[in-house]
């Protein structure tokens, strides 16, 4: 299901994108209903010229804006919010999108009231985006981290699905989840979790992972990636290089994983390799220190040896690398909010998720590009990858418009509720 071309030439809210209690491989079934065959050809034909035409029309300021995906406040694109004004010096989500030329927005429960309201919100934000439609993301892992739980089918957690040993169920649940998100106007899910939860004291992953066996987790992750692809929604494997063996929550602290390179290859790497082979659209970094992979002491999110050397060059991933939420404590120990954003780009990240101070981060990245610290070629690589992901999801062909009627027919459908009950049994 490789839906990508090469691109070398491409809360303040208590819970963050990493989820948990704090802040945002070929899969062959071993039991139950067999998964449908993987798509062997892209859903659309993507040529470099399509992406390059859009890229060529963007100013440097617009290119920098494409990198950012903050959380905005309000239940419609025109909602006046003091929170938006205080944080972004713009009152409404629409104005923030225009002011910073945003490439994406992430939704949280505070953005959710009803299906019709969310459809209106996503349509309104897409209308405000101007030249390039938005990636609209959320963390809908199911189970513990389910940002759209008020509206969507309640599926079991990854650990419950993993316990069935049935990759067909993993694929079906991901497909159903993706269908419901797409009906709401969401086109990117920060799921599946690809961590191998081998530490029973892990305070942030736990049941969010498919289990503690690397090979089983790898098969489940690959199946989920294919399921999201079946639903035509972008998937994100997280948290690279592996957040499974931690006893510190990266929302508030900076975990250190002491695995050797050989242990990383055996324990942490298989699910990410499987996700890449399955055609995953994005990989999210972890705010963890992994000394045997990079002795600098910087978290993986800011590590060029890990994001570029390991994920890009060793594993061959050429899709979008997303940071975990940049307002989390684990990434803010050594640098200010502007420097964090710059270092993440220099490390190899393409999508800067939820910066703690968007104005400062945006200005810092823009200044780094203008000074040459971030080369224009490096900026274009990230923007090209982001535009390619958008093209793969059909966003560059036509700005997406969600339908309230379609959402009403898809959300919590009888078919999806039966699937949830079947997984739970």
Max alpha carbon distance in the chain (Å)? 59
What is the C-alpha separation between 86 and 91, in angstroms, rounded? Answer: 8
Please tell me the predicted confidence (pLDDT) of residue 425: 59
380 catalytic? Reply is no
Q: Does a structural domain hold residue 165?
A: yes
Q: Does a structural domain hold residue 18?
A: no
Helix, strand or coil, per DSSP, at residue 96: helix
Tokens matching residue 386: 């982001």
Do 283 and 317 form a contact (C-beta atoms < 8 A)? yes
What is the C-alpha separation between 44 and 393, in angstroms, rounded? Answer: 9
Q: Does a structural domain hold residue 30?
A: no
Helix, strand or coil, per DSSP, at residue 175: helix
Please tell me the predicted confidence (pLDDT) of residue 250: 63
Residue from 355, 22, 414, 28 nearest 208 by CA: 22
Residue from 27, 252, 40 nearest 162 by CA: 27
Q: Does a structural domain hold residue 352?
A: yes
Helix, strand or coil, per DSSP, at residue 105: strand
Q: Does a structural domain hold residue 86?
A: yes
Eight-state DSSP code of residue 310: I
Q: How many CB atoms lie within 10 A of CB 334?
A: 13
What is the C-alpha separation between 241 and 219, in angstroms, rounded? Answer: 17
The per-residue pLDDT string of the chain (425 residues; one tens digit each, 9 = 90 and over) reads 333 333 333 333 333 344 443 344 333 333 333 444 343 333 445 556 889 999 999 999 999 999 999 999 999 999 999 999 999 999 999 999 999 999 999 999 999 999 999 999 999 999 999 889 999 999 999 999 999 999 999 999 999 999 999 999 999 999 999 999 999 999 999 999 999 998 877 767 889 999 999 999 999 999 999 999 999 999 999 999 998 777 666 676 778 888 999 999 999 999 999 999 999 999 999 999 999 999 999 999 999 999 999 999 999 999 999 999 999 988 998 999 999 999 999 999 999 999 999 999 999 999 999 999 999 999 999 999 999 999 999 999 888 999 999 999 999 999 999 999 998 75
Q: What is the CATH number of the domain that holds 265?
A: 3.20.20.300
Domain assignment of residue 145, given as a range: 50-424
Active-site residue, from 239, 243, 251, 259:
251
Chain segment 278-330, per-residue pLDDT in tens:
999 999 999 999 999 999 999 999 999 999 999 999 999 999 999 999 999 88
Q: Does a structural domain hold residue 13?
A: no
CA dist 61 → 91, 101, 341, 402 (Å): 21, 7, 15, 28
- State the total domains in the chain: 1
Q: What is the pTM of this model?
A: 0.88
Q: Does a structural domain hold residue 27?
A: no
Q: Does a structural domain hold residue 41?
A: no
Active-site residue, from 139, 298, 324, 337:
324
Chain segment 80-115, per-residue pLDDT in tens:
999 999 999 999 999 999 999 999 999 999 999 999
What is the C-alpha separation between 260 and 264, in angstroms, rounded? Answer: 6
324 catalytic? Reply is yes
């Amino acid at each position: 299901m490789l839906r990508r071309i090469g691109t070398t030439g491409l809360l303040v809210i208590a819970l963050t994108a990493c989820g948990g209690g704090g802040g945002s491989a070929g899969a062959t079934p071993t039991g139950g209903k067999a998964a449908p065959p993987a798509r062997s050809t892209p859903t659309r034909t993507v040529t470099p010229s399509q992406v390059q035409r859009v890229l060529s029309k963007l100013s440097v300021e617009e290119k920098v804006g494409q990198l950012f995906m903050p959380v905005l406040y309000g239940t419609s694109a025109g909602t006046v919010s003091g929170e938006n004004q205080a944080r972004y010096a713009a009152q409404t989500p629409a104005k923030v999108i225009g002011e910073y030329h945003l490439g994406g927005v992430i939704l949280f429960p505070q953005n959710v009231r009803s299906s019709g309201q969310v459809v209106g919100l996503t349509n309104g934000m897409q209308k405000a985006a101007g030249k390039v439609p938005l990636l609209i993301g959320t963390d809908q892992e199911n189970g513990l981290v389910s940002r759209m739980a008020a509206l969507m089918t309640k599926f079991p957690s990854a650990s419950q699905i993993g316990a069935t040993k049935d990759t067909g169920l993993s694929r079906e649940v991901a497909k159903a989840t993706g269908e419901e998100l797409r009906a709401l106007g969401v086109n990117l899910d920060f799921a599946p979790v690809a961590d191998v939860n081998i530490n029973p004291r892990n305070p942030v992953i736990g049941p969010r992972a498919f289990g503690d066996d690397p090979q089983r987790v790898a098969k489940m992750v690959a199946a989920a990636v294919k399921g999201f692809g079946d639903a035509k929604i972008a998937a994100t494997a997280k948290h690279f290089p592996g957040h499974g063996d931690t006893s510190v929550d990266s929302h508030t602290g900076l975990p250190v994983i002491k695995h050797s390179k050989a242990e990383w290859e055996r324990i942490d790497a298989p699910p990410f390799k499987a996700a890449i082979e399955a055609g995953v659209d994005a990989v999210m970094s972890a705010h963890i220190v992994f000394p045997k992979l990079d002795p600098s002491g910087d978290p993986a999110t800011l590590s060029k040896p890990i994001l570029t050397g390991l994920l890009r060059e060793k594993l061959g991933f050429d899709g979008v690398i997303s940071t975990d939420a940049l307002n989390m404590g684990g990434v803010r120990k050594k640098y200010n909010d502007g420097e964090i954003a710059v270092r993440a780009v220099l490390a190899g990240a393409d999508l800067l998720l939820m910066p703690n101070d968007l104005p400062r981060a945006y200005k810092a990245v823009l200044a780094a590009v203008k000074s040459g610290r971030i080369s224009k070629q490096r900026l274009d690589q990230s923007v090209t990858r982001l535009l390619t992901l958008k093209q793969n999801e059909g966003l560059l062909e036509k700005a997406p418009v969600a339908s309230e009627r379609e959402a009403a027919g898809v959300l919590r459908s009888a078919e999806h509720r039966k699937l949830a009950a079947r997984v739970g049994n």
